[in-house]
Structure formats: structure tokens, C-alpha cells
Structure 1
Amino acid sequence: MDYQPYLLSSTDNWAMPENKSIELLHYLESSGVKDVVCIPPVRKENPQNTNDYLQRRFKRLTSTYKDAIHLHLAARYRIDETYFLHLQSSELLCLKEDMHLLVDVSPLQEYTNTWRLLEATIQAGFIPVLMQPERVTYWRIGDFARLNKMGCKFMGSLYSLHGYNGDTALMHSEYLRQRDWYDYYCSGMEDTKVMRYVEQWHIKNLNISTLLESGMD
């Protein structure tokens, strides 16, 4: 299973046009991926991304793509000024039925109330899943340990494990993987231009589909 942030067109400045989304899905299918979860952003910069709007964009994609991959819809919720308002909603788009909520933080600048909002998320009955925590420049090993102790889960990027996201992300991703703290992986393949590089990757002798599935064990 893969998690794709930019598959739904018109949900973000970085979102792919529909034809590129279909192209990426076909590539993932050829790599052995069987399920893909669309995870568009919910944050102050994208006020149009209500549940109704995201579901309509998702329905449009599923009406166009009718091949082997099973498509699912969730969302990634950015910790910002609007996060707590979303947290009070009873209709969040979680990763699983057991309240796994995908949480996105700025990789460069920490939001003032990040830790308090993560605690509020847990108190509300959700399990925060931090997206690509290895890329967060202000978190250190002790922060990962604190997040793990709180009950947070982690979604890593295969690009980080390969070193594509820099030396620090590589070091942190290896640390998290060695401790089996990753519960999810995303391929990191977010546009078709970079897919040709992935074919040369050999991460711990695991192929793309195998490593994606290992995050779900």
C-alpha cells in the first residue's frame, strides 16, 4: 500500500494534473503496488479542501482510473492555526477505522503549540501518525523517543531511506527503521519525472512493493 499526497488534482499547488496522476498510478501498478491512499492536505493554505470537496475530487479520479490498484481516500492534517478546529470535527478522514490520523508538520519551522496539539489529538481518541518525521529539521533523536512514548506512529518515505532527502533524513530514517518505529511507508514518488531513478534503487535488498507492505505488518 502506498500513500500519495498529490494524486487529487486541484487540491494543492503541487497536485498533479489528472493525466499525470493516471500515469503515476500505472507506474505504481507495474511496481507491484495494489492499494493507494490519496492523502491531500487539510490546512489553512487550502481552505477549499473540505470533506465534500475532497470526496468529489476522489470520485472524479476513481471514475477515470479503472485498473488494478484499489484507491482509498484519507487526508493529511497540517498542525497550524486551523488544526484544532478540524480536530473538533467528527468527520476526519483517517487512515484506518481505528482512528489513525495522518498529521503533517512543517519540516522547517516548528509551530508553537505542536506538542500540545499532539496531546489534544490523543485525548480526542485519535492516534497521530506523523508523516515523514525524519525530514523535520528541528526534531532530534530524543524527540522521536518522546513521540513514540506518547503513542504516536510514524510514516516514513522510501526516498529518505535512499538518501534522496538529505543526510539527516537518511540518518533519522535508519534510526526509526532499526527500532521498528515505522508503521507506514510512502514511496515518495510524487511526480513522474523522478520515477526513472527509482528503478535503480536497492534499499536493503527490498523492492518498492515489499518495503511498502512491510510498514503494514
Structure 2
Amino acid sequence: MFSIFNSKKFLASKLGEFTDIHNHILPGIDDGAKTPEDSLQLLTYFKELGITELICTPHTISDYYPNNPETIIDAKQRLEAFLVEKNQNDFKIRASSEYMMDSSFADLIEAKNILPLKDNYVLVEMSYLQPPINLREILFKLGNAGFIPVLAHPERYAFYHKTMDVYTELGAICKFQLNALSISGYYGPGIEKVALQLLNDGKYEFLGTDTHHMRHIEGLKKVKLSGKYELALDRIISNTNTTFSS
């Protein structure tokens, strides 16, 4: 028997004027796009998906990508100049960062040397191996400094998968951002299962693509979602646009 809850729709058909708040398309400063040409290739396919407004979030990781507002803004300006040169005028690009909650992050908070996504929202991540031992202290410190933490892809932290109640606890002190590819099995069935559970439970506030390269773009084109989760996804897409559109 046919059921709307068993039918599936392509995620791409729902994005429309979606504002992507998590991507790595700024050239040459992390593990995303390497050159402005790479950035433009990604942007061209983003446009096909209906995405022309992006908040770029290169990694800030002290030991690997020691970015700061100056390096990030410089990369943004280089990309914008390249787009002007190529007569690519359809994109609205803003700059922020995805901040690793490592040993140096507390110093950035103290100095307020942070580029928010918009207003006082700050995108943060943690290691996929284990959480920081002072995770809650870091999140509270960020909040006490006047920022709102947005935890990138909580579904990808496999060390929490057997203690799902932790997500309820963390959700009380930060916002959750879903990676679009997580609901497709791209990162594995375990992550997909947790992502769908968190989506169904209403834990997510925002959606991002976390695009680094063309494999991610190709994956995004293939993402399908069953009708069971459609309203939950609509809610976080709408909330992302309302909160972060320029």
C-alpha cells in the first residue's frame, strides 16, 4: 500500500533559496577548496541546487588550520575578487569559521577573536575520537561571553551514539546543526540512524551542507528523505533561512 510516509523526495528539491551556514569553499585555508577555481566549481553546482547565499566556515584548529579573522576575511576577499573577474555576480558570500573546541579555543573566547555566523551565533565542533574533557565548561564559557554555540553535525560524534541522553543535555546549552549528507548514509548507516532519530525528535535547529569538494556536491544531489521526516526537515530549513539570511 502506498503511503506518503514511505515515499521519498530529493532534498535538493526542497532547498530553494536556502542559506548554507556550513561549508569549506574559501580557497586555500583548510581542507576544502584549494584554489578560487575550485571554489567557483563548487559554487556553480550550489547554484544548480538553488543555493546562492553562503556563510563560509573554514576550520579554525590550532594545530592544523590556525585561522583567524584576518586570514578568513583575506580568503573571502580573494574569492570575491575572482568572482568579479569571472562575471559571477549571483552569489552572496559571508565569512565565519568552524571552531574546534581545542586547548586554544578558550583563549579565542576570552579575546573575543571570533567571527560569528551572524549576530552572536558561533559554529563549533569537536574531535571525532573523543569529546573535550571540559566540553560543558567551554560551551558555558562561550555562552557567558555573549555567544550562542551551534554544534556542527552532532550525529557524527559516534562516542555519543550509545548514550543518546547526552544529546538532550547538550541541546540545553547549544543549538544543533544537521549535516545534509548525514541523512543519506554518506557517512555510514550508524550516523544516518542517529541523524534521523535526532531529526524526528526535533533536536536540530539548523541545516548545513559541510561541503568540502565535488564528492559532497554529488552526494547532495542524491540525498532523499522519506515523508516521515519531511515536516521536521522543513522546519530546520525554514529556521536556518530565517536566522541566517542576510
TM-score, normalised to structure 1's length? 0.88
User: What stretches of structure 1 of length at least 5 have no aligned partner?
Assistant: none
**After superposition, where does 1:72-87 map in structure 2 within 5 Å?**
72-87=94-109
> How many residue pairs align between the two structures?
213
**After superposition, where does 1:101-112 map in structure 2 within 5 Å?**
101-112=122-133
How far, CA to CA, are the matches of 1:212 and 1:64 in structure 2?
Answer: 32
How far, CA to CA, are the matches of 2:235 and 2:172 in structure 1?
Answer: 25
Superposed CA RMSD in Å reads 2.2
Partner residue, 2:6: none
Query: Percent identity among equivalent residues?
Result: 22
Alpha-carbon shift at residue 163 of structure 1 (Å): 1.3
Partner residue, 2:195: 173
How far, CA to CA, are the matches of 1:194 and 1:103 in structure 2?
Answer: 20
Alpha-carbon shift at residue 80 of structure 1 (Å): 0.7
Counterpart pick for 1:90 among 112, 124, 129: 112
How far, CA to CA, are the matches of 1:149 and 1:199 in structure 2?
Answer: 33
Alpha-carbon shift at residue 204 of structure 1 (Å): 3.3
Alpha-carbon shift at residue 86 of structure 1 (Å): 0.5
1:120 and 2:141 aligned: yes
Partner residue, 1:213: 237
How far, CA to CA, are the matches of 1:69 and 1:141 in structure 2?
Answer: 39
How far, CA to CA, are the matches of 1:47 and 1:20 in structure 2?
Answer: 19
How far, CA to CA, are the matches of 1:90 and 1:212 in structure 2?
Answer: 28
Aligned-partner SS, 1:177: helix
User: Does the 8 Å contact 1:2/1:33 carry over to 2?
Assistant: yes
Partner residue, 2:15: none
Aligned-partner SS, 1:156: strand
User: Does the 8 Å contact 1:153/1:182 carry over to 2?
Assistant: yes
> Which structure has the highest helix share of the two?
2
Alpha-carbon shift at residue 188 of structure 1 (Å): 3.7
Counterpart pick for 1:8 among 9, 26, 33: 26
1:100 and 2:121 aligned: yes
Distance 1:51 1:198, change over 3 A: closer
Distance 1:53 1:43, change over 3 A: same
Alpha-carbon shift at residue 46 of structure 1 (Å): 4.0
How far, CA to CA, are the matches of 1:116 and 1:105 in structure 2?
Answer: 14
Once the two structures are superposed, what CA deviation does each residue of 1:146-185 show, in whole Å capped at 9, x if it has no partner?
01122x1011111101111112211221122112222221
Q: Which amino acid aligns with 2:137?
A: R
Aligned-partner SS, 1:102: strand
**After superposition, where does 1:15-164 map in structure 2 within 5 Å?**
15-46=33-64, 48-65=66-83, 66-97=88-119, 99-139=120-160, 140-150=163-173, 152-164=174-186
User: What stretches of structure 2 of length at least 5 have no aligned partner?
Assistant: 1-18
Once the two structures are superposed, what CA deviation does each residue of 1:88-146 show, in whole Å capped at 9, x if it has no partner?
1234111121x111111111222221221112111222111000110001123111100
1:183 and 2:205 aligned: yes
Bigger mean CA offset, 8-17 vs 23-32: 8-17
Q: Which amino acid aligns with 1:10?
A: G
User: Does the 8 Å contact 1:4/1:190 carry over to 2?
Assistant: no
Aligned-partner SS, 2:55: strand
Aligned-partner SS, 2:21: strand
Alpha-carbon shift at residue 69 of structure 1 (Å): 2.1
Greater Rg, structure 1 or structure 2?
2
Alpha-carbon shift at residue 194 of structure 1 (Å): 4.3
